[in-house]
Structure 1
Amino acid sequence: MDHCDECGFTYTTIAAEDLPRRLEAAGPRFVATLATIQHPRRRPAPSVWSPLEYTCHVRDVLRVQGERLALALRTDNPQFTPMGREERAMQYAYNDQDPQTVLTELAEAANDLAHAFGALSPPQWNRTGVYNWPTVETRSILWLGRHTVHEIEHHLMDLTRGQSAT
């Protein structure tokens, strides 16, 4: 996947040197967006996550991507384990979590991941791992970073889709 038709994100528009800045911006952007939503736990439809659930998901994506990055730096072409998106939402009761705590944790995870990407040497960007989405495929660390930025952008859109500020 190099382009998302739903949100318009194109992976190749993000240069490696821009990844840390884009990741660091996630925390403040989620804070600002969630602040506009009066009922962050409200689901727009039974099968659609609430803004808080999407925020928890992005926090966990950032953490998991950090683990995957570290693994790819230690191991040649590792198989990345699926994060269990739906299972996590239920296991950790995403919609019952404190929004301020989640936002703080998201910002910390984003900053940690930005620092990790910022510390990469040019050859490290080409290290790979086997990613399971959208199909099982060997992906570079650069793709991993770009995909993480896509997750941020896409789910910021999801926060406001179907929500009313009043």
Structure 2
Amino acid sequence: MSDVYADPSDPGPATPDTSDWTWVVSRPCPDCGLDPDDVRPDGVTEILLDAKSRYAAVLARSDVRARPSAGVWSPLEYSAHARDVCDVMRGRLEQILDGDGAAVRFANWDQDATAVEKAYWRADPDVLRGELEAAFDAAAEAFARPTGEQLSWSGIRSDGSTFTAQTLGRYFVHDVLHHLWDVRG
């Protein structure tokens, strides 16, 4: 990793991620190596709980605030993002299940605006660890709920992308594991 940015209160903007990552629900990721076909619906909880412990270890690193290059989040910022992804994906799954089989529409979530609004770079790693662990636990509990027909119930993202409870789990797992790969967690 490169040197720690000089002023942790204002490291400068990270480069927004404008990629459409929805393809990860149907084919392997060439970067992190996750194959969505290996993500069983009944395995999402186990993956999330393992990721929780790996993120906790990342937050204990001495380089947690170091950005690897200009415009790229630090391990601290990726961890804050993972916490929020847990909350958003848990909420979306709960919305799907509450829809009782009717397609639901998800509110838009701008991850880059959230990072700035919550000032991810200013997070206290110890406080964040507790928040992240609680978010992973709640998400793991939620993703243990859907079974059978519920796995095919759907939700539609604000950009029109449709996810079932099952593909939402795949998408979610890829997100948190890919960011562990980003930070070498």
- Three-state SS of the structure 1 residue aligned to 2:162 is strand
The TM-score with structure 2 as length reference comes to 0.79
C-alpha distance in structure 1 between counterparts of 2:127 and 2:153, whole Å: 34
Deviations 1:117-157 (A, max 9, x none): 2122311111111135xx73221111111111111110001
1:82 is displaced (CA, Å) by: 2.9
Residue aligning to 1:137 = 161
Residue aligning to 1:17 = 42
C-alpha distance in structure 2 between counterparts of 1:67 and 1:119, whole Å: 13
Higher helix share: 1
Task: State how many pairs are aligned.
Answer: 158
Q: Which runs of 4+ in 1 moved over 6 A?
A: none
Q: Structure 2, unaligned stretches of length 5 or more?
A: 1-22
C-alpha distance in structure 2 between counterparts of 1:10 and 1:82, whole Å: 26
The TM-score with structure 1 as length reference comes to 0.87
- Three-state SS of the structure 1 residue aligned to 2:156 is strand
Letter of the 1:26 counterpart = A
Structure number with higher relative contact order (C-alpha < 8 Å, ≥ 6 residues apart): 1
Out of 68, 72, 93, the position equivalent to 1:69 is 93
Q: How does 1:1-166 map to 2 (within 5 A)?
A: 1=23, 2=26, 3-35=28-60, 37-75=61-99, 76-131=102-157, 136-160=160-184
Contact 1:27 1:103 in 2 (8 A): no
C-alpha distance in structure 1 between counterparts of 2:59 and 2:129, whole Å: 9
Over the residues paired in the alignment, what is the CA RMSD in angstroms? 1.7
Letter of the 2:171 counterpart = H
C-alpha distance in structure 2 between counterparts of 1:69 and 1:96, whole Å: 29
